[in-house]
Structure 1
Amino acid sequence: MRHYKLLVFILIFGFQSCKTQTDKINGVSFVAANAEVTAKHIHPLVNVNANYAAIMPFGFIKDLKHPEIIHNTHRQWFGETVDGATQYINELHKKNIKIMLKPQIWVWQGEYTGHIEMSSETDWKALEDSYSKFILAYAVLANQLNVDIFCIGTELERFVTNRSAYWQALIKKIKTIYKGKLTYAANWDEFKRTPFWSALDYIGIDAYFPVNDSKTPTVEACLEGWKTHKPIIKSISEKEGKPILFTEFGYRSVDYAGKRPWKSDRALGAVNLEAQKNTTKALFETFWKENWFAGGFIWKWFINHSKVGGQNNTMFTPQNKPVETLIRNYYKTKY
């Protein structure tokens, strides 16, 4: 009888533990602003049932060949600095919102960070030294503030490909400083080649996969489009033994939203709220029920909720659009 009770306890405990592990990361990418945040700014996150926020301080480089990263200066917006990230995280923690700290690089003129590539060994060494100072400063902050996930980089494919040994050493260094979970935000067409997933806790993907070429794609058409990508994503998860985390996901409220979801230029097309809603629903239906999928962070969420988004907005934010209600409902569901 004693052995029977012990077996029942193990089964129940194991089931409960498994259930806890499959709770999804229902996150928003919380955009840095030139102001402190208050409970008023955080209430809309709570209202949409988010349990995580990505905090994104920035470093800046002059161009794709320049090795120096400028960061944490008085010329930056408050939310882009160490002090700003600290204030944001502390306020979000008060509302039981967990954090992914995701320092990012911005190239002047908005050039794609995946194309950052030095032309000499001297410049590569200078970039590595500069990037280490940038990312390790935030690793220290992440550990001090008990951040749940730390993202070691975002869409830096050529840097990663050319300097793999540096990245392996950097990860080891980060682990001596920060004791939480680690990920890297690979672009949707990069993650299959990222060489260090085994050293991290999540396979991070900025999930701007093309799913349909229609002006107003239906949910069903987008579900069909995901059949091209989902098996590959799942196979990488299985190969590495790590869950998938969409470090960014989302669609613009614009015509052809599912065709090239990574496009962010303002002249892309007309407002199409249905296209944004349908593409987003298909993504949730494709991934959120999978036990190898950890969750994700919607791109993007601004602090002044009442003044952004809306029926005439063509950009990524779901705020004050029909898709916000859709996200609220999916984020409320327990998987």
Structure 2
Amino acid sequence: MNKILFLLLAMILTSCNSQNKEVAKNQKIEAVPNLSKIKGITLVATRDSIDYNAISPIKKYNANYAAIIPYAWMRSLEEPQVNYEEKRGWWGEKPHGVAVTSQLMKAQKINVLLKPQIWIGRGAYTGNIKLNDEAAWKTLEDSYTDYIMRFAHIAAQENISIFCIGTELDSFVKSRPEYWSKLIQEIRKIYKGKLTYAGNWNSYKYVSFWDELDYIGVDAYFPVSEEKTPTIATIKASWKKWKLELSTLSRKLNKQILFTEYGYISADFAGLEPWKNAGEDRAINEEAQSILFQGLYDAVWNEKWMAGGFIWKHHAEKSRRRGYEKRFTPQGKKAQQTVTKAYLKSS
């Protein structure tokens, strides 16, 4: 009798599982929050080799992710060659340094976003690359592919959690959509982790290939305050417009938003044009930086469409911290306590 009942129960369960699979196959699954919010810090690449002790301060933010950025460079907006040389540059931007840094992070249970990025001479904005002919575009595409695939192989080799295929390349993305789709396909052949692209706050909506990636990446320097020292109420009110824009795209594409960069300088009027460093005419203002972080956490951090983000930025080497009193890092400032508390509370 027990054997018969067991067989009947097994048949019922098999039928239910088959029905559930069929429903899942035909039903569009809505985006849901990550089991763990991405609580990230961007690590400034180091000139020299580092050890376990250089990574441990990242844990003090209650971070569970860190971004590694190996830069390549272009001479100007009009010169298409992407230059990257393994024998030159800082240790933290070379393939070996990137791999070791990733290993040191993972040893402390910190997941990694690998985010190769271009720097253009005199700090020109990467979104404004201006090329006039097919030959120039081909040079850019070939040299960029060589650079990005070099690090896609490292991402695969080191089992890195997230790989970013580009950062704030507005004109390149707009002008050459077929190239980007092909590049994504090539990366997918060797790398099995999550992919994103870092679109700038005012251009991410126009990226054509979001549906081919895992996260909608946004460098989230949205203007949120014209005040010298803003209030939380002002910031939350200002975020309403941006929240609507972000959530609308997230629902449309059924993908979460990831702030591939976010942060504020520690100076007066830090929320006015958050992408800019402060000039000599603006005073140090740690309170403004702290309030702006808290306003962001209050406004958007717990939204279902929000995957998390990466703060810009943390310095592992003391020699790199000179003159950073007004710069983006929250390190050693009042804002570090704000971030630490917010990351602790975040699931």
User: What's the TM-score once normalised by structure 1's chain length?
Assistant: 0.92
Cα drift, residue 300 of structure 1: 0.6
Cα distance in structure 2, aligned partners of 1:307 and 1:208: 23
Cα drift, residue 118 of structure 1: 1.2
**For the structure 1 residues 80 and 90, does the alpha-carbon distance in structure 2 shift closer, same or farther, using more than 3 Å as the test?**
same
CA contact (8 A) 1:309 1:318 kept: no
Match 2:92 to one of 54, 75, 79: 79
- Aligned residue in 2 for 1:53: 66
Cα distance in structure 2, aligned partners of 1:141 and 1:124: 26
**1:325 corresponds to 2:337:** yes
- Aligned residue in 2 for 1:68: 81
- Aligned residue in 2 for 1:203: 216
Cα distance in structure 2, aligned partners of 1:269 and 1:82: 38
SS in 2 for 1:324: helix
> How many matched pairs?
322
**For the structure 1 residues 306 and 122, does the alpha-carbon distance in structure 2 shift closer, same or farther, using more than 3 Å as the test?**
closer
SS in 2 for 1:295: strand
SS in 2 for 1:147: coil
**For the structure 1 residues 20 and 188, does the alpha-carbon distance in structure 2 shift closer, same or farther, using more than 3 Å as the test?**
closer
CA contact (8 A) 1:214 1:258 kept: yes
- The letter of the residue matching 2:206 is R
**1:100 corresponds to 2:113:** yes
Cα distance in structure 2, aligned partners of 1:287 and 1:265: 25
- The letter of the residue matching 2:207 is T
**For the structure 1 residues 212 and 162, does the alpha-carbon distance in structure 2 shift closer, same or farther, using more than 3 Å as the test?**
same
Runs of 5+ consecutive residues of structure 1 not aligned to the other structure: 11-17
Cα drift, residue 237 of structure 1: 0.4
Runs of 5+ consecutive residues of structure 2 not aligned to the other structure: 18-30
Cα distance in structure 2, aligned partners of 1:237 and 1:172: 22
**1:278 corresponds to 2:291:** yes
Cα distance in structure 1, aligned partners of 2:259 and 2:322: 22
CA contact (8 A) 2:33 2:306 kept: no
Match 1:113 to one of 112, 120, 126: 126
Match 2:326 to one of 308, 314, 318: 314
- Aligned residue in 2 for 1:13: none
**Identity over aligned residues, as a percent?**
43
**1:170 corresponds to 2:200:** no
CA RMSD, Structure 1 to Structure 2 (Å): 2.1
CA contact (8 A) 2:40 2:311 kept: yes
- Aligned residue in 2 for 1:40: 53
Cα distance in structure 1, aligned partners of 2:88 and 2:269: 37
- The letter of the residue matching 1:257 is A
Q: State which structure, 1 or 2, has the greater radius of gyration over its C-alpha atoms.
A: 2
1:125-136 equivalences in 2 (<5 Å):
125-136=138-149
CA contact (8 A) 1:116 1:158 kept: yes
- The letter of the residue matching 1:117 is K
Cα distance in structure 2, aligned partners of 1:290 and 1:268: 37
Cα distance in structure 2, aligned partners of 1:275 and 1:207: 17
**For the structure 1 residues 214 and 118, does the alpha-carbon distance in structure 2 shift closer, same or farther, using more than 3 Å as the test?**
same
Cα distance in structure 2, aligned partners of 1:256 and 1:54: 27
Following TM superposition, the consecutive aligned residue runs of length 4 or more in structure 1 with deviations greater than 6 angstroms are none
Cα drift, residue 264 of structure 1: 2.1
- Aligned residue in 2 for 1:218: 231
